[in-house]
Structure 1
C-alpha cells in the first residue's frame, strides 16, 4: 500500500550551487492516503557531483513533524 501518492502540486523555489554541490529548495502538496488528508511541506535537497558530473550523494531535509501535525498526529515525549 502506498502511503503517499505523487505530488498534487510541486514547485522548485530556488537552486543554489557552488563547486560540485547543488542545493534545491522545493515545495509540494500531497495526500496521505492512510488518513485521506492533504499536507504541504518544504524540502531542501543537496546533490554532490563527482568530476565527471555524476551524482555521488543525495541528502534532504524535510518538515516531517509539520507533515505529521497536518495529518492529525501529535508527537509527545
Structure 2
C-alpha cells in the first residue's frame, strides 16, 4: 500500500495547481473583484456577497501563483 507524501514539493505543487484550476477563471467577476461563494461543483451560489478577508486571500493567492507558475494572467488579476 502506497502512501501520499503530503509534504513533498511535487504533491504541493500539483495540489496548488488543482486549487487554482477549480477557482480560475470562474471566480473572476467581469465587473471587478472575485466571486467568493461556490458550491462543490464550482457553480456560484451568491454573486453579491463579498468579504474583506476572502477578497484579500484571492489577491494574495493570485499574486503568489503568478510567481510560482510564471503566469502573467494571474498577476494581472492580482493587480
* TM-score, normalized by the shorter chain, greater than 0.5: no
Q: Using CA pairs under 8 Å that are at least 6 residues apart, name the structure with larger relative contact order, 1 or 2.
A: 1
TM-score (norm 2): 0.22
Higher strand share: 1
Higher helix share: 2
